[in-house]
A and B are shown apart, each in its own frame.
Chain A
Amino acid sequence: MIKIQKGKPIIDQHDSSYLYAGKFGGNFVPETLKKPIEDLTKLFNKLRRDKKFIKERDYYFKNYVGTPTSFIKLYNLSHQLGGAQIYAKVVSEANGGAHKIYNAIVHALICKHAGKKYIIGDTGAGYAGKMLSMAAKKFGLKCKIFMGTKDMARQKPNCDAIRANGAEIIPVDSGSKTLVDAVSECMRYWVSNCDTTHMCVGSTVGPNIFIKICAWSTAQISRELIVQIKKEFGKIPKKLKLINCVGGGSSSIGFWNSFMDFNKKQVEFIGVEAGGPKNSKLHAAPLTNKSKIGILHGAAQYVLQDKEGQISETQSISAGLDYPGVSPLHCFLKDAKRARYTSATDEEALAAYKLVASMEKIRPSLEPAHAFAEAIKIAPRLSQDTIIIVNSCGDAKKDKFILEKRLGKNHD
């Protein structure tokens, strides 16, 4: 049976081949990247144990990202649905409008410590790219962002922000023209430029070290939340459900990290993947739909693929979730039965957005709207003393045009 070890960071629970549960993750990379990955691994291992570096990180988290982000009760929504009490961790308040800022800041700091002047990264929804461009500007790094052309068209507000920060967007027109292709192209660029350039992977995917750095960075979310929960309730509630959307899995792993050792009957983790359009066979939910283990972007994971190992096309209204694979950490959590995974369709996410936006002050982007859809689905069936917390990890400004098109001009 696969088990999560208590008292040990989840990111460190791999074997000497960097595999979690003996089968997820690893470093399936071209020989050229072995050394840069080893160097980065050594550097990060040193930095994460260095008090000065932690102080540096915390300084920027506090003064640049803005910590803590607020923890609020959604009174109207809870009242409307009946049943469980619904709260939100409003991570979208972070500078830039989403959790991607934590990973971006840490990567920029590492890049500085590595003595490199160039930084590159992938993006789907545009948030990872926007945040990396912000961090690059802040620390005086030259930045290139790889983005699928389909995503550039549907997430234009974030593209504008990336360019305004002085970063260059490299359009990726191959394959499905979305995140999966952007990550591939970014990795290719790194192979060719790894001597001068630092690579940031925008989620908890890719070769092991990128999973580690990203999850270590977003862990800030649950470090804040556990304090906020204790303050609100005096203790950790008896029945707590933490609901988060899962694309690559960076916001969810950060949202859950501090609660890993709690019994799942007390603190349940629910990950919501992209179910795609209601009447389409396509989706982006490898954990929900029992996909097989395969290798994508250097790591073994559950991934949508055909019998011969060709990666499948995905479809989702949410560019940030539109990815055929998922973090090896989530594969681990799923097989250890620590987290439960489900999906929400495009339509359910849109309806959830509409309901939340009409009743509350927050405007979750289409990614967290998937998480709200699940909360809305289960809350009425749950007892009054059940606490649901949704990670509202992104702001809907970037989705303005999609929302107008699907819900009309005055959509909230």
Chain B
Amino acid sequence: MINPNLTLAFENCKLEKRPALLTYIVAGDKNKNMTLNILKNISAYVDICEIGIPHNTPVADGKQIQDSSYRALKSGIKLNDVFEIVKNFKKADSTKPTILMSYFNQILQCGENNFLKKCKSVGVDGLIVVDLPFPENKQFADKCKKHHISFVQLIAPTTSDERMKQIVKHSHDMIYYISMLSTTGGKLKVTPQKILNNYFKIKKINKEKNIVIGFGITEKTIKSLRRADGLVVGSQLCKGITDSLKSNKSPVKTLTKIVKSLRSKIQ
């Protein structure tokens, strides 16, 4: 166990015989306060909160998360603001596991050690680095471990069996399975059965690992994948913010409603 908050969250869900619900929003979309407000309001229905550090060249993200990122950057969000959001959120809900999602360049420019120190000091529990795959991430993942921060390894449909074994072996508390060949925000284009087949293939390698599935999961599709340890919803929430802003509604209310509904579907 590298991070007790994360491990406990998965254990609790298992006791309740349901998958963990993970949500993703971009820090600073559309401003700092709104992000904090959203987090505080959805927290009761969410098991693990993922927060994206906005990047202006997000090569792995589709339209919805791009829109959120550009909005956040336009509001002037800086890395320190992201940490401040986490810090304030943790003040309100201290044990809610919080994972930051980033591109590696942002960590590199901050300095790996400096970045991890800041993460630790505000209570970040895990990190996903979209463009730092295995084995290039070995060194950084070890550093995370020393700080009791879970480095989340990713596995994709293209990952070979041998590679999969290696990745599982080097993984921490949680592994992220990318459901399909897509950037974030794509429509689910493979059957849930096929996704679950791959999921169980990973699970078989090591049953102790918590494996979450992400990409293409929405209110429509979440139920079909409920046998997984955890399910990540991101783009639908980002789109929820976009739509609310367009129609002058409250993103906080909209997102709370979507998240409640997501949770009810896997209960």
- Asked if residues A307 and B109 are in contact (CB atoms below 8 Å), the reply is yes
Contact with A along B178-213 (1 / 0, CB 8 A): 100111001000000000000000000000000000
The answer to whether the Cβ of A45 comes within 8 Å of any Cβ in the partner chain is: no
Contact with A along B43-79 (1 / 0, CB 8 A): 0000000000001111111100010001001000011
The answer to whether the Cβ of A296 comes within 8 Å of any Cβ in the partner chain is: yes
Q: CB < 8 Å: which of B62, B108, B156 contacts A31?
A: B156
- Residues in A with CB closer than 8 Å to B156 are 30-32, 34-35
A191 CA to B185 CA, complexed, in Å: 12
Q: Is the interface of B mostly helix, strand, loop or mixed?
A: loop
| Interface residue total, chain B, C-beta cutoff 8 A | 40
Q: CB < 8 Å: which of B59, B106, B159 contacts A187?
A: B59
- Residues in A with CB closer than 8 Å to B106 are 308-309
- Asked if residues B183 and A192 are in contact (CB atoms below 8 Å), the reply is yes
A175 CA to B60 CA, complexed, in Å: 15
Nearest B residue to A181 via CB reads B57
- Residues in B with CB closer than 8 Å to A308 are 78-79, 106, 109-110
A17 CA to B59 CA, complexed, in Å: 21
- Asked if residues A188 and B181 are in contact (CB atoms below 8 Å), the reply is no
Contact with A along B118-133 (1 / 0, CB 8 A): 0000000000001111
Interface members, chain B 90-124 (any A CB < 8 Å): 103-110
The answer to whether the Cβ of B231 comes within 8 Å of any Cβ in the partner chain is: no
Q: CB < 8 Å: which of B107, B110, B154, B160 contacts A30?
A: B154
The answer to whether the Cβ of B169 comes within 8 Å of any Cβ in the partner chain is: no
- Asked if residues A32 and B109 are in contact (CB atoms below 8 Å), the reply is no
A305 CA to B156 CA, complexed, in Å: 30
The answer to whether the Cβ of A380 comes within 8 Å of any Cβ in the partner chain is: no
Interface members, chain B 140-160 (any A CB < 8 Å): 154-160
A31 CA to B131 CA, complexed, in Å: 7
- Asked if residues A29 and B159 are in contact (CB atoms below 8 Å), the reply is no
- Residues in B with CB closer than 8 Å to A305 are 105, 109
- Asked if residues B57 and A32 are in contact (CB atoms below 8 Å), the reply is no
Assess A175 versus B109: contact at CB under 8 Å? Given A35-B159, A188-B62: no
- Asked if residues B159 and A34 are in contact (CB atoms below 8 Å), the reply is yes
- Asked if residues A36 and B103 are in contact (CB atoms below 8 Å), the reply is no
- Residues in A with CB closer than 8 Å to B260 are none
The answer to whether the Cβ of B14 comes within 8 Å of any Cβ in the partner chain is: no
Closest approach, in angstroms, between the C-beta of B161 and any C-beta of chain A? 11
The answer to whether the Cβ of B227 comes within 8 Å of any Cβ in the partner chain is: no
- Residues in A with CB closer than 8 Å to B186 are 192
Contact with B along A23-47 (1 / 0, CB 8 A): 0001111111111100000000000
- Asked if residues B136 and A30 are in contact (CB atoms below 8 Å), the reply is no
- Residues in B with CB closer than 8 Å to A83 are none
The answer to whether the Cβ of B163 comes within 8 Å of any Cβ in the partner chain is: yes
Query: Which B residues fall within an 8 A CB radius of A?
Result: 55-62, 66, 70, 73, 78-79, 103-110, 130-134, 136, 154-160, 163, 178, 181-183, 186
Q: Can you identify 23 A-B contacts, CB atoms within 8 angstroms? A: A28-B104, A28-B132, A28-B136, A29-B133, A30-B60, A31-B158, A32-B156, A32-B157, A34-B158, A35-B158, A35-B160, A174-B66, A175-B56, A175-B57, A184-B57, A188-B59, A188-B183, A191-B60, A191-B182, A294-B108, A295-B103, A295-B131, A310-B57
